[in-house]
Amino acid sequence: MATIRQNAFQDVLKREPQYVKYDSNISDFFGEHVFHAEVMREYLPDGAYKMMMAAIQSGTSLDRSIADQVASSMKDWAITKGATHYTHWFQPLNGSTAEKHDAFFKPVGPGRAIERFDGDLLVQQEPDASSFPNGGIRNTFEARGYSAWDPSSPAFVIGRTLCIPTIFVSYTGESLDFKMPLIKALNAIDQAAVEVCQYFDKNVTKVIATLGWEQEYFLIDKAMYNARPDIMMTGRALFGQAPAKGQQLEDHYFGSIPERVTEFMRDFEMKAIRLGIPVTTRHNEVAPNQFECAPIFEECNLANDHNLLLMDLMEKIALKHNFKVLLHEKPFAGMNGSGKHNNWSLSTNTGVNLLAPGKNPKTNLQFLTFFVNTIKAVHDNADLLRACIASANNDHRLGANEAPPAIISAFIGSYLSNVLDDIELNVKDGKMSPEDKTEFKMNIGKIPQIIMDNTDRNRTSPLAFTGNKFEFRAVGSTANCAKPMIIMNTIMAKQLKDFKVNVDKRIAKSDSKDEAILKELQQMIKDSKKIRFEGNGYGEEWVQEAARRGLNNFKDTPRALDIWDDPRVIAMFEELDVLTKREIEARKEIEFENYIYKLQIESRVMGDLTQNHIIPAVINYQNRLIANVQGLMQVLGDDGKEASAAQRELITKISMHLNKMKHLCDEMLDARRRVNKIEDAEEKAVAYCDEVKCYFDDIRYHTDKLEYLVDDELWPLPKLREMLLTK
Ligand code: ADP
Ligand code: MG
């Protein structure tokens, strides 16, 4: 009987590219499934349109009668797009399982029919929220939650459903999602940044955070996926030797993308463009069958919604092309993992990117102000940045195979390092002489508008300045970008607020505005020095050096999450009205639960697969060897012993690995039983990390040895080389 592996292989051999009709003119259909401003102008009465635009710009809520008008035109428009149903679309806190994206998109009930749709239904819904994680919030307060319309992110039609982006909150007002705190963090950064911009330009009244994400992913054939229960259930290969011909050749990078993949990409890109997602680039990543998709950056909240939509879209479209998208951070050990770089910047209503050097000393002082404030914010909150990217998946990636280490640092390039050193050394205490001021103005004026030296060397840093934005590279590929974006924007808002207070104090003490700013920048440059690192972030020396500098290196999620208990952190989030203490506690609890859940599943699957797939195949092969040895002895008599030496050696080796593997699996099972009894989520997560997860690599070591020793024909699971290098 053929193994599931052999059957899968037969399926793969039959595959053909699924050609997609090519639409030539993207501008003809960009955003055609989105209820965007232009459509609103067409469908809404003039007054309602203006109110709606004002609500989008300022975040104010809409009058109920206006909401009725918006709902009615939204419905009329959606029906022209073929929609029959509508749903509130929200982002609950279960970032845990492979079904995650389904959950994001799971309609409220199965989606409700669209004919009845008014302002009430647009503005607020009461989903059956009992199955979404809440970290205990609803247990103690109020059982229900509701979703509320977010007018700043436009509604869209997918298939036959009108999707309305919403926040998700408990009846007591606590957020149960990622969107609500993100919107609050974006408000906080808006306020704080506008105040600081006022030093430079009175016309600035609004600052938005921009986000440009880069989504990495693997593609494997659907049949191969179905033949690997570990990948199906955990998103990653728990077993398997890395292919002999793998990434060391690096011939895949920017190589020609096989036709089947090209057609898949074209298909999902066309659909993404219809949903207004501005996808543009497409190239192969470093590992075999690894790819990336990166759209043009957008306002942060919208960009994040678009990322979530795109992940869902990719998974759906891939199935049509007989592929399975693996979004996991580390699907294949020994090969590159997948990240989701978050490129972040701040932009004003006057059209200025606050993290791009300007044309003259004034705009460059503004640039330096925001630049140094970012570095200071990162310095003061490095542990929070580590915590917001922590997950069971990302633990496998950080610090391994071309992924940034778990140590947070910032790379700024040699040019800007020199500029900061100059300020640090040469800004004087007390009154600055007119010559000093002139010199500084000249030097600052010289900062080139495009800083070139950052492009190549930024690759090893978790957070790199790349000329006009910071790139947070440590974010995992499955992550909801809201997590890092809540942190980046909150810590920056806090930093800018403190900066404003300190500069104003200096001005009150008779410093001129520029002097006060320069002196404050100097202080911040001194205070945040240890976070700046220009060297190789992948090297072992950096681990030593970072320890000497007193930077933390949290290798696992449970430890990384500890920072959420810090009273300073809680005070910051409460001060800026982003999260309450209670919401923080609930989120932390959910993170622990997700972590436990992931490791529990991985450990179970590991046990099942060794028991049911690997051990039987190994014994089967061993029996063949034994029969062969017995046969040789029979035929050759005494000479049989020598003639079967290799087989005997194999039998012994196989027994050794089999015994060790089985023994380790049994021990892991005992450990799991023990750890499962722990009540407290944090304690349990730590125990899972230290007492269960520690078996994974050892068990894998022996199964991978067995994969190598056992007859290829008998091995039940598709091998990594087969999954990764098929056409
Ligand atoms: P790399 O792969 O070298 O990091 P890419 O060109 O793939 O570079 O990605 C650059 C990313 O930075 C894109 O997603 C782009 O949209 C984003 N980006 C560019 N300017 C900004 C900005 N001002 N704010 C946020 N993101 C930006
Ligand atoms: Mg990048």
Euclidean distance between CA atoms 389 and 99, whole angstroms: 20
Distance of alpha carbon 562 from alpha carbon 591, whole angstroms: 11
Q: Ligand 1, residue 297: give the atom nearest the CA.
A: 16
Q: Which tens digits make up the pLDDT trace of 573-619? A: 999 999 999 999 999 999 999 999 999 999 999 999 999 999 999 99
Residue 214 CA: which ligand 1 atom is closest? 14
Q: How far is CA 238 from CA 290, 358, 600, in A?
A: 18, 50, 13
User: What pLDDT is stored for residue 173 in this prediction?
Assistant: 86
pLDDT score, position 401: 65
Q: Does CATH number 3.30.590.10 belong to domain 186-579? A: yes
Asked whether residue 181 carries a pLDDT value surpassing 70, the answer given is yes
> 């007492």: which residue's tokens?
691
**Distances from the Cα of 686 to the Cαs of 556, 562, 582, 596, 676, in angstroms?**
9, 11, 22, 9, 12
Closest CA to 554 of 474, 487, 490: 474
For residue 283, count other CB atoms closer than 10 A to its CB: 12
Alpha-carbon dihedral 128, 133, 136, 137, rounded to 10 degrees: -60
Ligand nearest to the CA of 283: 1
CB atoms closer than 10 angstroms to residue 647 = 16
State how far the Cα of 27 lies from the Cα of 477, in Å rounded to an integer: 29
Instruction: Tell me what pLDDT residue 452 has.
Output: 65
Q: What does the alpha-carbon distance between residue 560 and residue 583 come to, in Å, rounded to a whole number? A: 18
Q: Is 618 helix (H, G, I), strand (E, B) or coil?
A: helix
- Say how many CA atoms lie within 13 Å of 334 toward its Cβ: 18
In ligand 1, which atom is closest to the CA atom of 343?
Answer: 26
CA 237 to CA 229: how far, in whole Å? 9
- Closest atom of ligand 1 to CA, residue 468: 23
Instruction: Give the ligand whose atoms come closest to the C-alpha of residue 297.
Output: 1
In a 13 Å sphere around the CA of 482, the CA atoms on its Cβ side amount to 23
Considering only CA atoms, which of 525, 500, 650 is closest in space to residue 200? 500
Between CA 492 and CA 203, with CA 497 as vertex, the angle to 5 degrees is 95
- Which atom of ligand 1 is found nearest the CA of 281? 7
Pocket test for ligand 1, best of 297, 338, 452 (most atoms within 8 A of CB): 297
Identify the band that residue 101 occupies on the pLDDT scale cut at 50, 70 and 90. very low
Among protein residues, the one with the nearest Cα to ligand 1's atom 1 is 214
Q: Which atom of ligand 1 is nearest to the CA of 353?
A: 23
Mean of pLDDT values over 223-229:
95
CB-CB contact of 626 with 258 (8 Å): no
For the ranges 232-246, 291-305, 624-638, which has the lowest average pLDDT? 232-246
pLDDT at position 692 over 50: yes
Q: Give me the mean pLDDT over the 90-111 stretch.
A: 49
Q: Output the CA 600–ligand 2 centroid distance in Å.
A: 32
At 129 the pLDDT is 60
From the list 124, 150, 142, 331, the residue with the least C-alpha distance to 239 is 331
| Residue pair 256/223 in contact by the 8 Å Cβ criterion | no
Q: How many whole angstroms from 233 Cα to the centroid of ligand 1?
A: 33
Q: How far does the centroid of ligand 2 lie from the alpha carbon of residue 94, in Å?
A: 26
Please state at what angle helix 513-527 crosses helix 434-445, rounded to 10 degrees.
70
122-126, 483-487, 581-585: range with lowest mean pLDDT: 122-126
Supply the pLDDT for residue 251: 52
Name the nearest CA neighbour of 496 among 655, 355, 385. 355
Distance 322 CA to ligand 1 centre (A): 30
Q: How far apart are CA 74 and CA 67, in angstroms?
A: 10
Q: How far is CA 78 from CA 27, 63, 154, 210, in A?
A: 20, 22, 12, 28
- What is the CA(261)–ligand 1 centre distance, in A? 23
Residue 427 per-residue DSSP state: P
How far away, in angstroms, is 344 Cα from ligand 1 center? 8
Task: Between 672 and 430, name the one with better pLDDT.
Answer: 672
Amino acid letter at 120? D
pLDDT (0 to 100) of residue 433: 85
The predicted pLDDT at position 195 comes to: 98
Q: Calculate mean pLDDT across residues 432-443.
A: 84
CA-closest residue to ligand 1 atom 8: 214
* Residue 321: DSSP 8-state: T
pTM: 0.94
Residue 141: per-residue pLDDT? 45
Q: Which two tokens stand for residue 65?
A: 């009668």
Q: Report how far ligand 2's centroid is from the alpha carbon of 391 (Å).
A: 20
In 76-189, beta strands by DSSP E:
85-89, 112-113, 124-125, 145-149, 156-158, 161-170
Q: Alpha-carbon distance 347 to 28, whole Å?
A: 28
Q: What is the pLDDT of residue 508?
A: 96
Please report, rounded to a whole number, the percentage of residues in the chain having pLDDT higher than 90: 66
Q: Can you count the helices (H) and strands (E) in the chain?
A: 30, 15
Range 642-651, long-range pairs (CB < 8 A, 24+ positions): 650/625, 650/709, 651/622, 651/625, 651/626
Question: Which ligand places an atom closest to the C-alpha of 277?
Answer: 1
| Cα-to-centroid distance, 355 and ligand 1 (Å) | 13
The tokens for 266 are 């074209």
- Listed in order, the ranges of the chain carrying CATH 1.20.120.1560 are 594-724
Give the Å distance between the CA of 556 and the centre of ligand 1: 28
For 130-161, the pLDDT digits (tens) are 667 777 765 544 556 788 899 999 999 998 88
Q: Which two tokens stand for residue 208?
A: 């938005």
Test site for ligand 1: of 285, 461, 469, most ligand atoms within 8 A of the Cβ: 469
Alpha helix ranges (H) inside 511-644? 513-527, 540-549, 557-560, 567-575, 581-609, 615-636, 639-643
Higher pLDDT, 433 or 109: 433
253 vs 678 pLDDT, higher one: 678
Ligand 1: nearest atom to the Cα of 345: 24
pLDDT at residue 106 greater than cutoff 60: no
CA 384 – ligand 1 centroid, Å: 23
Ligand minimally distant from the alpha carbon of residue 292: 1
| Residue 322 structure tokens | 């007989």
State the ligand closest to the CA atom of 466.
Answer: 1
- pLDDT, residue 726, reads 53
Q: Which ligand is nearest to the CA of 474?
A: 2
- CATH class, domain 594-724, is mainly alpha
Cα 286 from Cα 626, distance rounded (Å): 43
The atom of ligand 1 lying closest to the CA of 294 is 14
Q: Quick one: pLDDT at residue 404?
A: 80
pLDDT of residue 143: 53
Mean pLDDT, the chain, as a whole number? Answer: 89
In the structure, what pLDDT confidence band is assigned to residue 105 with cuts at 50, 70 and 90?
Answer: very low
Residue 534, classified by CB atoms within 10 Å of its CB into exposed (0-12), middle (13-18) or buried (19+), is middle
Ligand with minimal distance to 454 CA: 1
pLDDT surpasses 80 at 41: yes
Give pLDDT, residue 137: 65
**Closest Cα to atom 13 of ligand 1:** 212
Ligand 1 neighbours by CB, cut-off 6 Å: 210-212, 214, 281, 294, 296-297, 341, 343-345, 353, 468-469, 471
Q: Among the atoms of ligand 1, which is closest to the Cα of residue 296?
A: 16
Query: Greater confidence, 558 or 171?
Result: 558
Name the least confident of 177-191, 256-270, 473-487.
256-270
Q: State the average pLDDT over residues 320-349.
A: 95
How crowded is residue 146: how many other Cβ atoms within 10 Å of its Cβ?
Answer: 17
Ligand 1: atom nearest CA of 355 is: 23
Locate CATH 3.30.590.10 in the chain: 186-579
What does the DSSP 8-state code read for residue 619?
H
Q: Which DSSP string do the residues of 460-512 spell out, in sequence order?
A: G-SEEE-SSSEEE---BTTS-THHHHHHHHHHHHHHHHHHHHHHHHHHHTT--
Separation of CA 471 and ligand 2 centre (Å): 7
3-state DSSP call for residue 23? coil
CATH topology of domain 31-177: Ubiquitin-like (UB roll) (3.10.20)
Question: Rounded to the nearest whole angstrom, what is the distance from the C-alpha of residue 458 to the centroid of ligand 2?
Answer: 9
Counting ligand 1 atoms within 8 A of each CB, the residue from 343, 345, 460, 492 with the most, and so the one to mutate, is 343
What are the pLDDT digits (tens) for 233-266? 999 999 999 887 655 554 544 455 578 888 999 9
Band (58; pLDDT cuts 50, 70, 90): confident
Instruction: Please tell me the predicted confidence (pLDDT) of residue 2.
Output: 72
CATH 3.10.20.70 positions along the chain are: 31-177
